Amino acid sequence: MIELKDFSFRYREGSEPVLKDVNLIIPDGSFVGITGAAGSGKSTLTYALNGIIPHCYPGDYYGSVTVNGKDVLETSLIDLSRMVGSVCQDIDSQFVSPAVEDEMLYGLENFGVPREEVEPRIDEALTSMGIADLRDRMIDSLSGGQKQKVAIASILELKPEVLVLDEPTAELDPASSLNVFKLLSRYASEHGTTVVVVEQKIALLAEFASLLVVIDQGKIRYADSPAAVLTHSDELLELGVNCPRSTTLSNRLRRAGLYRGPACRNVAEAADAVMEMLS
Amino acid sequence: MIEFRDVHASYGGGLPVLRGVSFTIEDGEFVAFAGTNGAGKSTTMRLINGLLKPDQGEVLLDGTPTTQLKVSETARRVGFLFQNPDSQICCNTVHDELAFGFKAQGLLDDEAEGRIESIASILKLDLSADPFLLNRGSRQLLALASIAVMETPVLVLDEPTTGLDYHECCAVMDLIGQMHEKGATVVMVCHDMEVVADYAERLIVMNAGQVVDSGPTFTVLRNFSTVETASLVPPQIVGISLACARRDPGLAGTPVASANTLDEMVGALEAAAQEGRRSA
């Protein structure tokens, strides 16, 4: 379980706190989507989970963040990195090796993983992201989508209990974005991994997240199931979060008195709702 | 007019990226390009503004092959927005960035200064700010403003909304929409089919270096084989409409089965509900 209690943080060079009085409980095995306007504090929240805050970015730190019972403030970055795996927003800044295989070996070697486990772990991670065939490739010869999957696989093989990803699909086309979320969600449910993902593509979060968190100016405005959060489509628009059109459709139909069900999260649910209305 | 005639292109003679691309874009059109990463969309954009020249075939701007145009001549016709604003921004203040194009062409006069001030005030950009200290969305808006201010007849935009939040996306697309209304030809690569559906009149779909479909936006987005081939995700309302028509073939020809926009779908369902009440 991850717990943020009255957590606030101001970067040393900042004038205002970036996160203010954040309270959030993330149960084990959740798939958490974090969204909000640019500059709302989404990335800062991920730094608070993986320990980049306060260990790399100093500042004023109030309240507490605990990951699986360990206080992030009291736990070294090395110990945290064994629990929390992170995929950076800018994946090119994450790679340390020119070749995929070397990149995959880097984390395992640094964690001192026994030799006989190395091979099966690399295999499993590459296979689970559907990129077993990329093992011998040079990283700079890969497409954006392929790189993204390598970056994720190189963290999955470390078997983190919590996986934190900052906009993992920003550079990807819609089909590749969907594919990354499918692979992630399957891996997480098979391994009981908690996933925390910052994402602008709300349609993906609506579909895959078990908990949807909306941040606005450093405060949590909503933290609930996607269907419950998406009911507030007008308020979300004001916060700079656009709902999937399926949701906007079901909300408008509810206002017109034509629909009484929960907010639709995707095309299939909206099509169900429309068919029911027509029958 | 922009015309591609059987264009083949590659980077430095390496792997072919475009393999026989032909299309025509008339003056004043708003055309979007879609397709997966690596389909050849960005390469096509670079060919339009002459950054890249074809290996084979011809790219014509108003009838003249880009191979015969100087960079300055192309720049007067085509404003180009890079995928990453940081590839574009090169000055120390917002003002200098907006003035860059005028300066390069020796056209920085009082009228140009007027245009710079006016676009900065519309977009709420501080002329004295350092572009590199702006956030991603504002840098994107500045990069777009620096071409919009030149009022070139053609705007070529490579993923203008990627990485932006909803408000930033609206600000960028509003400006592009205004340029188009003033008569600019807009050519835009965009992965977000909701944005494409909202703005583009025509959609050209590319796959593996070739054009696989071209036509009115919604006609293309409703073409199952195009959507499959190019792994497109149609806008959700189109998806809902198609899903309903698949589930009940009896809906063929009804407004629900042809609704493309939110308003059309809500209207169709309200009408159907009234019809239902009347017959009951």
Answer whether A176's CB lies under 8 Å from A208's CB.
no
Q: Give the separation between CA A277 and CA B269, rounded to whole angstroms.
A: 8
- The pLDDT value recorded for residue B246 is 94
CATH number of the domain encompassing residue A164:
3.40.50.300
> Band of the pLDDT at A146, cuts 50, 70, 90?
confident
% of chain B surpassing 90 pLDDT: 74
Which residues on chain B are in Cβ contact (under 8 Å) with A274?
240, 244, 256, 265, 269
Q: Is the pLDDT of residue A130 over 90?
A: no
Strands B30-34 and B202-207 come out as parallel
Tell whether A164 and A278 lie within a shared domain. Answer: no
* Contact criterion met (CB < 8 Å) for A277 and B272: yes
Q: Is the pLDDT of residue B280 over 80?
A: no
> Band of the pLDDT at B72, cuts 50, 70, 90?
confident
Inform me whether the C-beta atom of residue A270 falls under 8 Å from chain B C-beta atoms: yes
Tell whether A273 and A173 lie within a shared domain. Answer: no
Q: Give the separation between CA B214 and CA B202, rounded to whole angstroms.
A: 7
Best A13, A35, A147, A200 member to test B by mutation, with max B CBs in 10 Å, is A200
**Residues 183 through 212 of chain B touching chain A, CB cutoff 8 Å:** 191-194
Domain residue limits at A6: 2-243
pLDDT tens digits, one per residue of A49-93: 999 999 999 999 999 999 999 999 999 999 999 999 999 887 888
Element (H, E) at A240: none
- The pLDDT value recorded for residue A141 is 82
Tell whether A279 and A216 lie within a shared domain. Answer: no
- The pLDDT value recorded for residue A223 is 97
DSSP state of A141: G
Tell whether A143 and A99 lie within a shared domain. Answer: yes
- The pLDDT value recorded for residue B277 is 79
Tell whether A181 and A266 lie within a shared domain. Answer: no
Q: Give the separation between CA A205 and CA B111, rounded to whole angstroms.
A: 47
Tell whether A129 and A258 lie within a shared domain. Answer: no
* Contact criterion met (CB < 8 Å) for B247 and A271: yes
> Band of the pLDDT at A245, cuts 50, 70, 90?
very high
DSSP state of B87: G
**Residues 114 through 143 of chain A touching chain B, CB cutoff 8 Å:** 143
Element (H, E) at A130: none
Q: Give the separation between CA A22 and CA A4, rounded to whole angstroms.
A: 6
Q: What is the dihedral of CA B132, B134, B138, B139, to 10 degrees?
A: 10
- What are residue B207's DSSP bridge partners? B210
Asked if residue A54 has a cis previous peptide bond (ω within 30° of 0), the answer is: yes
% of chain B surpassing 70 pLDDT: 100
- For A70, the 3-state DSSP assignment is strand
Tell whether A186 and A277 lie within a shared domain. Answer: no
- For A58, the 3-state DSSP assignment is coil
Q: Give the separation between CA A115 and CA A125, rounded to whole angstroms.
A: 16
> Band of the pLDDT at A217, cuts 50, 70, 90?
very high
Tell whether A218 and A269 lie within a shared domain. Answer: no
- The pLDDT value recorded for residue B136 is 78
Answer whether A212's CB lies under 8 Å from A42's CB.
no
Element (H, E) at B135: none
Q: 């998806």: which residue's tokens?
A: B239
Of B187 and A15, the structure prediction assigns the larger pLDDT to: B187
pLDDT tens digits, one per residue of B177-199: 999 999 999 999 998 999 999 99
Tell whether A199 and A277 lie within a shared domain. Answer: no
Q: 């819609």: which residue's tokens?
A: A174
pLDDT tens digits, one per residue of B10-33: 988 788 899 999 999 999 999 999
Q: In chain A, how many domains are there?
A: 2
Q: Give the separation between CA A42 and CA A100, rounded to whole angstroms.
A: 29
ipTM above 0.90, yes or no: no
Report the residue from A144, A171, A271 with minimal CB separation from B240.
A271
Element (H, E) at B144: helix B136-148
> Band of the pLDDT at A194, cuts 50, 70, 90?
very high
* Contact criterion met (CB < 8 Å) for B194 and A267: no
Kindly report the nearest CA distance between residue B186 and chain A, in angstroms: 21
pLDDT tens digits, one per residue of A170-189: 877 888 889 899 989 999 99
Residue B251 CB contacts under 8 Å (≥ 6 apart), including other chains: A278, B244, B245, B257
Return the CATH fold of B2-230: Rossmann fold (3.40.50)
Q: What is the CA radius of gyration of chain A?
A: 20
Sheet (strand A219-224) strand order: A84-87, A162-166, A194-198, A31-36, A211-216, A219-224
Kindly report the nearest CA distance between residue B181 and chain A, in angstroms: 25
* Contact criterion met (CB < 8 Å) for B36 and A36: no
Answer whether A261's CB lies under 8 Å from A250's CB.
yes
Helices (H), chain A: 42-50, 52-55, 77-83, 100-110, 115-128, 144-156, 174-191, 202-208, 226-230, 233-238, 245-255, 267-278
pLDDT tens digits, one per residue of A257-273: 999 999 999 999 999 99
Tell whether A48 and A152 lie within a shared domain. Answer: yes
Strands A31-36 and A194-198 come out as parallel
Inform me whether the C-beta atom of residue B255 falls under 8 Å from chain A C-beta atoms: no
Q: Is the pLDDT of residue A125 over 90?
A: yes
* Contact criterion met (CB < 8 Å) for A271 and B191: no
Q: Which is nearest to A202 in space by CA: A176, A177, A175?
A: A177
Kindly report the nearest CA distance between residue B248 and chain A, in angstroms: 8
Q: Which is nearest to A260 in space by CA: B246, B250, B273?
A: B273
Instruction: At B24, list the tokens.
Output: 């025509």
Cα A155-A112-A145 angle, rounded to 5 deg: 20
CB atoms within 10 A of CB B202: 19
- The pLDDT value recorded for residue A20 is 96
Q: Give the separation between CA B142 and CA B94, rounded to whole angstroms.
A: 7
Strands A31-36 and A211-216 come out as parallel
pLDDT tens digits, one per residue of B130-149: 998 888 788 888 999 999 99
What are the domain boundaries of chain B? 2-230, 235-280
* Contact criterion met (CB < 8 Å) for B38 and A143: yes
pLDDT tens digits, one per residue of B105-115: 888 999 999 99
% of chain A surpassing 90 pLDDT: 82
Sheet (strand A70-71) strand order: A19-26, A2-11, A59-67, A70-71
Q: Give the separation between CA A86 and CA A194, rounded to whole angstroms.
A: 12
Q: 């922009």: which residue's tokens?
A: B2
Q: Is the pLDDT of residue A6 over 90?
A: yes
Please state the φ and ψ torsions of residue A229, each to the nearest 5 degrees. Answer: -65, -40
Q: Is the pLDDT of residue A142 over 90?
A: no
Tell whether A33 and A143 lie within a shared domain. Answer: yes
E strand intervals along chain B: 2-10, 16-25, 30-34, 56-61, 64-65, 78-81, 154-158, 185-189, 202-207, 210-216
- Mean pLDDT, chain A, rounded, equals 93
Q: Is the pLDDT of residue B87 over 90?
A: no
pLDDT tens digits, one per residue of B23-65: 999 999 999 999 988 899 999 999 999 989 999 999 999 999 9
Tell whether A236 and A187 lie within a shared domain. Answer: yes
Helices (H), A84-143: 100-110, 115-128
Q: 């011809």: which residue's tokens?
A: B58
Answer whether B18's CB lies under 8 Å from B5's CB.
no
